[in-house]
Structure 1
Amino acid sequence: MKQKINWPVTIAAGVAGGIIGGLVKLGWENILPPRTPERDQTNPPQKLLQQLGIPAKITHSTYTYSGHQLPWVSYLVHFGFSTGFGVTYSLAGQLLPWLKFGHGVPFGIAVWNAFHVELMPALGTVPAAKDQPLEEHISEILGHAVWMWTIDEIIRGINSEN
């Protein structure tokens, strides 16, 4: 017998998982920075937006908190991406339960491969995978695994309560 899907809860779980997962990924990148300081002067979200025609004065806009200049546009893209994948994973996991195998870790690694190895290099947003430093691959693979594991755990927790 098929279980009825509570769509509002499923979407809300994905949003919550995406936000919390996005925070975890930011924290991860503070411990294991994926890029050199030179390559981070214009980070991938900023470069992608510039490739789409958005001027650098917007993509590099910041706000100040506690004396730090923080890139709000990059954060908008970061959390939009994370929340979008959180909702996608939450919905898709209801329809295709096999996607939740390994608590989302294989799914997270697949997202890393799709974006950091295939799509962004093809667009010229980041160097080809073979030209990226090993440290970048290590940070991004592990970061995407922990990111999606976090999203999976939040979704499971919310769904178990409903």
Structure 2
Amino acid sequence: MRLEKCWFCSSTIYPGHGISFVRNDATVFRFCRGKCHKNFKMKRNPRKVAWTKAYRKLAGKELAEDATFEMEKRRNRPEKYNRDLVGKTIKAIEKVTDIRQKRQDRFYEKRMESARKQQLRADKVQLEKEVHLIKAPAGIRAEREKLKEPVRQADAKRDAMEE
């Protein structure tokens, strides 16, 4: 069973799925779904379309250089199967998958660290602007009373002068 990669978005195409487009020069383009095929026909560049893997790697949102991806490369040689070798290979694939997941998690945490700091700064600014929404009503009343006190004193002086 051969799993192909979509030419546009780089996702996996399983047997019996997707669309193949063969150009006049015999170049074969495989697409996972109509969305990718239509974007290809519209001559869009996958590196500029935000949902593709090419864009994510270019924008630094996805782990680009990882040795575990080398194992996924397609090989066109037929191989003789050995039961022990297949068992070991399956165990190795599980380990590689686990290692890749841990690397991706570390990469994500590292990338999100600056975003967390930026969000914290934005939250502090918003809190300073909208502190009136969270201050206790008693505190607000006391502040209003303090503001009205000089006005009352001025009114009292004015009344005293009029008499």
Mark yes or no: TM-score above 0.5: no
Answer with 1 or 2: which has the greater Rg.
2
Higher helix share: 1
Q: Greater RCO between the two (CA within 8 Å, min separation 6)?
A: 1
**Scaled by the length of structure 2, what TM-score is found?**
0.27
